[in-house]
Amino acid sequence: MNHADGTAVPEAASQADDAPRPEGPPQKMVAAREELTPMLSQYLDLCESHPDAIVMFQVGDFYEAFCEAAEEVARVCEVTLTKREDSTGTYPMAGIPIDNAASYLEALLDAGYRVAVADQVEDASEASGLVDRAVTQVITPGTVVDDELLSGATATYLGAVAGSGDETALATVDVSTGECQVTSGSAYEIGEELDRLAPAELLSAADAPDFELGFETLVSNPDPEAFDVDGASETLSAYVSAPESVVENESEMRAVGGLLDYAEYTQGDDGPLEYVSRVRRYDPERSLQLDATAIRSLELFESRSPSGGRTLVGVLDETACALGRRRLTAWLRRPSVDEREIRRRHDAVGELIDRPLARETVRDHLSEVYDLERLVSRVSRERANARDLRALKTTLDAVPEVKSALSEMETDPLQRLCDSLDELADVRDLIGEAIRPDPPQEITEGGVIREGFDDELDEIRATEREGREWVSNLEEQEQERTGIDSLEVGYNQVHGYYIEVTNPNLDSVPDDYTRRQTLKNSERFYTPELKRREDEILSASEKADALEYEVFTNVRADVAEEVERLQSLADSLATLDVLATFAAVAAANDYVRPEMGTDTVEIEAGRHPVVERTQGEFVPNPADFSDGHVAVITGPNMSGKSTYMRQVALIAILAQAGSFVPARAARLPILDRIFTRVGASDDIAGGQSTFMREMAELTDILHNATEDSLVLLDEVGRGTSTTDGLAIARATTEFVHDEVGATTLFATHYHDLTALSERLPEAFNLHFTVEKTERESGEPDVTFLHRVADGPSSSSYGVEVAKLAGVPSTVVERAREYIREADGADNGQADRAVETAEAAESDSPTATQATTNGQDGRRAGNEDGTETGNKPVEQEGTTSAPKDGTLAAYVDGIEATETDGRVTSDAEDDVLDEIRSLDVAGTTPLEALNTLDRLKQRLDD
Ligand SMILES: Nc1ncnc2c1ncn2[C@@H]1O[C@H](COP(=O)(O)OP(=O)(O)OP(=O)(O)O)[C@@H](O)[C@H]1O
């Protein structure tokens, strides 16, 4: 199949646009084609058949590139650019050492290139003339199989998309393990699935949508023929007997066929990939859907903190082996929605908690398990060496132990798992008998096959051994025969065996000695018998090495026959490792079994699984949605709102992944999706576009959430002016309440929102409590209690938080002054702003109702800060102020310091003028802090 056609230039390549591409045939060689030396002509041919890759061409111990490719390799890999000269011209050349190629190849992959590795495929010593070379693999970001280039914990996917509209299909394969999957749906759903899987390389068929990808990948438009439905069906038929029964539509067929065709190409195009034993069709809706935004904002796999804080997978990953590690990631990425399956996992985890001894025995033995999936894939790709087979044996040795520890388990899922563990005694014994316990890395140089396994090999080795024994006795014999005590027998690579006699003894050398080499103080000789023995030893050794290689490849081929059994064993071990890990984590951290399938979320004393592990004390909080599904959460900055919302989501994810959860008790429905929209403050650098992104994410949520979804909205509307933000936040809450019905947690600084609970029956208020104290100096101070309570919050304490964050005290003091001033001067303005917001909504009968009912927290003028919601409020402060999310609201309740009226310089006048002209009502707290900082700077200057 001609992959040359239509294969696009890698997008991530870092070349300047007008520079010649480093891939493909170098023009200089094309021009000199007829005169090229045989070797360069071979190089040119390989470049032509792999135009989408940089060809690294084996010359002795190096992989070399020539011409433009050489210049790029020298630049990217930081190796010296040399040149090769012959009668046809001078060609730039750059090489990387084969022994140490991995890091250089990685650099080329990172720079966005595919690399075609052209190995010498015949022994240079046996070749008559030019050594034959062939591309043995094309290394691409999505198809790397070398351990050194792969991360153990996560799968590296190659993806392919084909089709459009509602029949858009996505196929993925993890080339290192053979896991191949296909799905289809609307372009939107497939876009989300793509984001979730983030394949390292994506093949996009001509008719596939132009996805906006939120991750880095190498995209190419592949061979159209491979994506043709007939071609694809033919490719797939090499993997499954009835391709039509695996896929659900033509797009899926094309995606998976095109994908496998390309994967074969990268593995050297020698037919189907044996280790892809199963192609699985799946439906994303059969799992709890977490889009890329949710995965990111809940920090499942990556921390958002620049210093790299902990993640959910980080605190859970106590897996014993790489198989379990990947399965854990997969389960967290795609928690189940199958209540039965979830309960089965919980049953298993429960029993593993109750039987700590058996559990730890299982985990101990699992820690001896190597990365079976990748081992198996190497075996069937004929890449496994003797050490790999021994690693496979070590893994298989652990299985009976694991089985015996599991045999006492009583729950059905663990019993089934135990039954499903195939000990593969045949494979284990075969490797045990055939391969030496500590074999060398190379499989061509002997020392691999055990004695007693192959009679012919044993015979040859015996001849070799005998010969060597004879040589080792020779020294003593010859010393006796010649009377030269200092006579020595030795060996070197160039001259072979020799008898060395020092110059003073040369007179005693017998006649049958023939001179081999003269050194400064001695002469080296051989005898006819020594020569005969030497030939015998060397030929036996060579023969034995070759035979060992042959025997080894036969053993490997026999093992490869059992790929499916091995993969199914790997599958069971992976599942067991995760279940045992869930149990260990639950036991160590006091998790409980959640009750699943209830109507509403009800969590008693829930904890954030990551935060509780990263800080000394954690305050557990309840989450009870039995009386309403929309919680409006208020509270000062830093009081714990985001942590609380995320912990509800993480508890749900853990539960549906099969884990117990950090809480005293939890009753949970089976959620279909989790959406998150977290505050604009996190993306301040994005400026204007931040708000657009916020709104785009909000749109996504409002369109796609269902009543079975969990929605986290953190400060929606904060990215714009208070007036607009409040209006959006209100309308969103109403929509979620009336139309969507999703379990929703809405954290906000817009205290006006808390009034919604009065007229939205399913909405209720929660707030985070703080303790307000006074320092000795009389300054107000706050302590965060991180405790959630019913009802709305009465204060925000923005400036106090700024102070805690280390904003210089002069700025804080001035902030208090300014805010008091502004508060006094602009109270009317703030009122007007909210009135405007409400006027904008005046078409909405509900908004009017809220106003006329006088239920709005601020308008009701409830001076004592209580009873703005439908639940009693904890008493927090004694002062009152507007609770409208404006700057004034943020410093509500803070006593002003006396101003001394000392305004003297022009600079200070300017600053004051600027403050007077500020639209305080329309300023977000963060903007206010930035403004303060700037003003302070000006005063300092
Ligand atoms: N329940 C808790 N127990 C102990 N510490 C907590 C708890 N919740 C939050 N914290 C701590 O308080 C810090 C601030 O919490 P969080 O970010 O949730 O506050 P927030 O109210 O969302 O703040 P902001 O409004 O500024 O976004 C966290 O980083 C965590 O260290």
Q: How close is the Cα of 34 to the center of ligand 1, in Å?
A: 73
Q: What is the pLDDT of residue 269?
A: 66
Residue 639 alpha carbon to ligand 1 centre in Å: 5
Half-sphere exposure for 813 (CA within 13 Å, toward CB): 8
pLDDT at 656: 98
Centre of ligand 1 from the C-alpha of residue 643, in Å: 5
CB 666 within 8 A of CB 613: no
Average pLDDT of span 609-637: 92
Q: Whose CA is nearest to atom 1 of ligand 1?
A: 619
Q: How many whole angstroms separate alpha carbon 818 and alpha carbon 915?
A: 8
Question: Which pLDDT value is given to residue 489?
Answer: 93
Check whether 642 is labelled as a binding-site residue.
yes
Please determine, looking at this structure, whether the domain spanning 455-556 carries the CATH number 1.10.1420.10. yes
Sequence ranges of the chain with CATH classification 3.30.420.110 = 148-286
Ligand 1 — pocket residues by CB below 6 A?
Answer: 611, 615, 618-619, 621, 635, 637-643, 786
Q: Is the pLDDT of residue 780 over 80?
A: no
81-127, pLDDT tens digit by residue? Answer: 999 888 888 899 999 998 888 888 888 888 888 899 999 887 777 76
CA of 611 to the centre of ligand 1 (A): 9
Fold classification of 596-803+865-873 is Rossmann fold (3.40.50)
Asked whether residue 344 carries a pLDDT value surpassing 50, the answer given is yes
Helix (H) or strand (E) holding 837: helix 809-840
Q: What is the distance between the alpha carbons of residues 801 and 782, in angstroms, rounded to a whole number?
A: 8
* pLDDT band at residue 914 under the 50/70/90 scheme: confident
* pLDDT band of 895, cuts 50, 70, 90: very low
High-pLDDT (> 70) share of the chain, % = 83
The confidence score (pLDDT) of residue 211 equals: 86
862 has pLDDT over 70 = no
Q: How confident is the model at residue 838 (pLDDT cuts 50, 70, 90)?
A: very low
Distance from the alpha carbon of residue 786 to the mean position of ligand 1, in angstroms = 7
Among protein residues, the one whose CA lies closest to atom 4 of ligand 1: 618
Query: Candidates 607, 638, 678, 712: which one to mutate for ligand 1, based on the most atoms within 8 Å of Cβ?
Result: 638
Residue 749 alpha carbon, nearest atom of ligand 1: 25
* Cα 298 to ligand 1 centroid, rounded to whole Å: 14
- Every domain range in the chain assigned CATH 3.40.50.300: 596-803+865-873
Q: How far is the CA of 483 from the centre of ligand 1 (A)?
A: 91
| Mean pLDDT, rounded, for 544-551 | 92
Confidence category of residue 828, pLDDT binned at 50, 70, 90: very low
Cα separation, 297 vs 280, whole angstroms = 30
What is the model's pLDDT at position 495?
Answer: 83
- Residue 732, pLDDT score: 87
Rounded CA gap, 484 and 504, in Å?
A: 10
Which residue, by CA, sits nearest to atom 24 of ligand 1? 637
Q: Is 639 annotated as a binding residue?
A: yes
Give residue 615's pLDDT. 83
Poorest-confidence range of 126-140, 238-252, 355-369, 641-655? 126-140
Q: Does the annotation flag 641 for ligand binding?
A: yes
pLDDT tens per residue, range 183-204: 999 898 899 889 888 898 999 9
Q: How confident is the model at residue 499 (pLDDT cuts 50, 70, 90)?
A: very high
Residue nearest to atom 5 of ligand 1 (CA): 618
Mean pLDDT rounded to a whole number for the chain: 81
Distance between CA atoms of 129 and 781, rounded to whole angstroms?
Answer: 87
- The confidence score (pLDDT) of residue 685 equals 40
pLDDT value of position 19: 59
Q: Which fold has domain 148-286?
A: Nucleotidyltransferase; domain 5 (3.30.420)
Question: Is 428's pLDDT higher than 90?
Answer: yes
Whole-angstrom distance, CA of residue 765 vs CA of residue 782: 22
Q: Provide the edge-to-edge strand list for the sheet that holds 289-290.
A: 289-290, 673-677, 710-714, 743-747, 630-634, 763-774, 780-790
pLDDT of residue 799: 66
Ligand 1 centroid vs 768 CA: distance in angstroms? 10
Give Cα separations from 683 to 586, 645, 686, 713 (angstroms).
Answer: 35, 19, 6, 15
Q: What share of the chain is helix, strand, coil (3-state, %, to 5)?
A: 45, 15, 35
Averaging pLDDT over each range in 305-314, 479-488, 524-533, 593-602, which range is the top one? 593-602
Which of 614, 642, 783 has most ligand 1 atoms within 8 Å of CB, for mutation? 642
- In this prediction, residues 476-503 reach a mean pLDDT of 91
Annotated binding residue 505: no
Decide: pTM greater than 0.80: no
* Cα(577)–Cα(482) distance, integer angstroms: 70
Distance 784 CA to ligand 1 centre (A): 9
pLDDT value of residue 144: 75
Mean of pLDDT values over 331-347: 95
pLDDT of 1 above 50? no
Q: Whose CA is nearest to atom 25 of ligand 1?
A: 637
Question: Which position has the higher pLDDT, 210 or 846?
Answer: 210
Average pLDDT rounded to a whole number, residues 798-813: 69
Nearest CA to ligand 1 atom 15: 640
- Residue-level pLDDT at 823: 58
> For ligand 1, atom 26, which residue shows the shortest CA distance?
637
With a cut of 80, say whether residue 21 has pLDDT above it. Answer: no
Topology adopted by domain 27-139: MutS, DNA mismatch repair protein, domain I (3.40.1170)
Instruction: In whole angstroms, give the CA distance from residue 711 to residue 395.
Output: 44
pLDDT above 60 (res 883): no
pLDDT band at 23 (very low <50, low <70, confident <90, very high): confident
Closest atom of ligand 1 to CA, residue 801? 26
3-class secondary-structure state, position 623: strand
Q: Which pLDDT value is given to residue 689?
A: 59
Give dist(CA 360, CA 337) in Å, integer: 29
* Shortest-distance atom of ligand 1 to CA 747: 22
* Residues carrying CATH 3.40.1170.10, the chain: 27-139
Q: Is 637 annotated as a binding residue?
A: yes
